Structure 1
């Protein structure tokens, strides 16, 4: 069993859309959250989807699920105060109905340029090797800096940017999130961070650079440009 775990509990504080959380902003007439879920909806290996959404926007999202016929959305849960809490709540909802060896693909609700191949690669990597972290190769020089001083220039040959999905077995996911809470951690950056903290081996899944997360207004316009290209290619055949 393979489950898409979509967390979209935030309200987009770094976007200028004060009246509408970023996950509900539209591209080509469809909200970003729907674009994201549609990839999981259409993928033949994905059995169900759970979505953690801000409670104030839960009714609006439920309406979108019906309108766009997102039939694989099996659970809608209230998001927490942090991304970690939202992911944890979603995982607990899945655990009530699914076995511990189910593969969960944890993905940002505002990362809508994921594709079917990336979903397949994550599932295969978990089943064949272990926990899978989607990454893209760094193509610029990375430095570490304290204040305005450059402390170190890092060789980029082995540097990657961690993205999503971040995929693993349900039992493993619950264990690391439960342990984090027990230790007083409620705002970890992502699942990969918790996996490393608790000694799990991680395996890289190479993803496209286009698989961006919509965090700022600039991200939104870049994403829209990608969708324009995809639409032109589809129309052009």
Structure 2
């Protein structure tokens, strides 16, 4: 069993949107969260979808799911005060209905440029190794700087940026979220960081550079450009 868990609990403070959170902003006439969901909805190996959402936007989300005929969503879970809490809430809800060896793909609701190939690669890597962290090669020069001056230039040959999906066996990742809370940790940045914190071996899946997370206005416009490129490729058949 393969479950997509979408985190859509943010309010988009860095987007400066005055109306709706960023996951509900539209690109090409369709909300970002729906673009993202459609990839999992269409993938034959995804058996169900869970969404963590702020309670005040639950009804809005439910209307969108109905409007766009997203039928694989089995769980809509209230998000928490932090991303960790939201993911934990969703994992606990899914675990009540699914076996421990189910594969769960934890993905950002605002990464709408994921594709079927990347979803499949995450599932296969978890089957083989037990975990899968989507990464993209870092092509810029990497430096460390504590103050105004640069302290070090870091070789980039083995530097990757961790993205999403981040995929695991349900029982293992839930146990680590439970452990973090028991140790009074409530705000880890992502599941990859949590796995590393507790010494678990994690494996990478190389994803496309287009698999960006829409966090700022600049990200939004860049994502829209990628959509236009994809649309043009479909029209001309290249």
Query: How does the TM-score come out when normalised to structure 2?
Result: 0.98
Counterpart secondary structure, 1:105: strand
Q: Which residue is equivalent to 2:58?
A: 58
Q: Which residue is equivalent to 1:81?
A: 81
Equivalent-residue separation in structure 2 for 1:23 and 1:121 (angstroms): 25
Deviations 1:108-147 (A, max 9, x none): 0000000000000000000011211000000011111102
Q: Which residue is equivalent to 1:225?
A: 225
Equivalent-residue separation in structure 2 for 1:143 and 1:18 (angstroms): 35
Equivalent-residue separation in structure 1 for 2:229 and 2:159 (angstroms): 29
Q: Runs (4+) of structure 1 moved beyond 2 Å?
A: none
Q: Which residue is equivalent to 2:156?
A: 156
- Alignment RMSD, CA only? 0.7
Equivalent-residue separation in structure 1 for 2:69 and 2:93 (angstroms): 21
Consecutive unaligned residues of structure 2, counting only runs of 5 or more, are: none
Counterpart secondary structure, 2:10: coil
For the pair 1:3 / 2:3, whether they are aligned, the reply is: yes
Equivalent-residue separation in structure 2 for 1:28 and 1:19 (angstroms): 18
Equivalent-residue separation in structure 1 for 2:130 and 2:97 (angstroms): 22
Equivalent-residue separation in structure 2 for 1:145 and 1:66 (angstroms): 48
Shift of 1:172: 0.7
Counterpart secondary structure, 2:157: helix
Counterpart secondary structure, 1:149: coil
Equivalent-residue separation in structure 2 for 1:88 and 1:63 (angstroms): 25
Q: Which residue is equivalent to 2:139?
A: 139
Equivalent residue runs for 1:173-192 within 5 Å: 173-192=173-192
Equivalent-residue separation in structure 1 for 2:11 and 2:173 (angstroms): 25
Consecutive unaligned residues of structure 1, counting only runs of 5 or more, are: none
Equivalent residue runs for 1:14-25 within 5 Å: 14-25=14-25
Deviations 1:132-167 (A, max 9, x none): 100000001111110212121100000000000000
Equivalent residue runs for 1:113-128 within 5 Å: 113-128=113-128
Shift of 1:48: 0.1
Shift of 1:19: 1.6
Shift of 1:18: 2.0
Equivalent-residue separation in structure 2 for 1:170 and 1:146 (angstroms): 38
| Residue correspondences, number | 237
Equivalent-residue separation in structure 1 for 2:89 and 2:235 (angstroms): 40
Deviations 1:202-224 (A, max 9, x none): 11100000000000000000000
Shift of 1:236: 2.4
Query: How does the TM-score come out when normalised to structure 1?
Result: 0.99
Q: Which residue is equivalent to 2:213?
A: 213
Equivalent-residue separation in structure 1 for 2:15 and 2:77 (angstroms): 24
